[in-house]
Amino acid sequence: MKRILMTGSRDWTDAQVSADALNATLALLGVSAAEAILVHGGAAGADQLLAQTAQQHGIATEGHPAEWGVHTSRCPAWHHGLDVCKLAGHRRNDAMIAAGAEACLAFPTHGYHLAEGEDRARTSRGTWDCAEKAMKAGIPTLVVWGKDLYPFGDLGAEVLRRRAVERDLTLGGAGQLPILETWLPF
Ligand SMILES: [Zn+2]
């Protein structure tokens, strides 16, 4: 079984790009749906959408929901008394990565860097955290953008197209690779 790790925004809604990305990953790994397992965080948005898509395609799924109500000995003292552990998502990401994967797919809705005045609260912070950790763990990590989400404009899209050609990837619509890049923190 090939493990496909995924991480994504709670605001992700693009089912077609999600399905294209999964299919493209199976092709890149050279496996059938029955030989793959989607490892996800069980959160709303991208996680649930991808898990559904995987199940529709006959790909097994493995959820790792974060334990938001649990503090650990590594939590700072100021966590005591908080109902929600702010580190639970990070612990979950660490555990998913430690379990190993052949590839990681990241579905952000915001860029790696914040726009002027943007608040990090709802801007794919957890997605970038997981993608960064996966990359550091040596897991090939692909950042997948919804077609209306790519935040770097026409010039950025052209750079991606050129990189894809260099890597012999085909970018396109339904059934082809979605807009996709190998990891690079812009
Ligand atoms: Zn805590």
Q: Domain holding 117: CATH number?
A: 3.40.50
DSSP-assigned letters across all residues of 36-53: EEEEE---TTHHHHHHHH
Higher-confidence residue of 3 and 20: namely: 3
With 0-12 / 13-18 / 19 or more C-beta atoms within 10 angstroms meaning exposed / middle / buried, residue 39 is: buried
Give how many domains the chain has, as a whole number: 1
Contact 12, 107 (CB under 8 A): yes
At residue 51, the pLDDT reads 97
Domain that residue 88 falls in = 2-182
CA distance 180 to 150: 10
With 0-12 / 13-18 / 19 or more C-beta atoms within 10 angstroms meaning exposed / middle / buried, residue 150 is: middle
Under 8 Å CB-to-CB from 125, ≥6 apart: which residues?
none
Using the mean position of ligand 1's atoms as its centre, give its distance from the Cα of residue 177 in Å. Answer: 39
Say if residue 175's pLDDT is above 60. Answer: no
pTM of the complete model = 0.81
pLDDT bin (cut points 50, 70, 90) of residue 125 is: confident
Higher-confidence residue of 182 and 156: namely: 156
If DSSP codes are grouped into helix, strand and coil, which group holds residue 5? Answer: strand
Say if residue 173's pLDDT is above 60. Answer: no
Using the mean position of ligand 1's atoms as its centre, give its distance from the Cα of residue 111 in Å. Answer: 27
Using the mean position of ligand 1's atoms as its centre, give its distance from the Cα of residue 155 in Å. Answer: 42
**Amino acid letter, 179:** I
Using the mean position of ligand 1's atoms as its centre, give its distance from the Cα of residue 29 in Å. Answer: 37
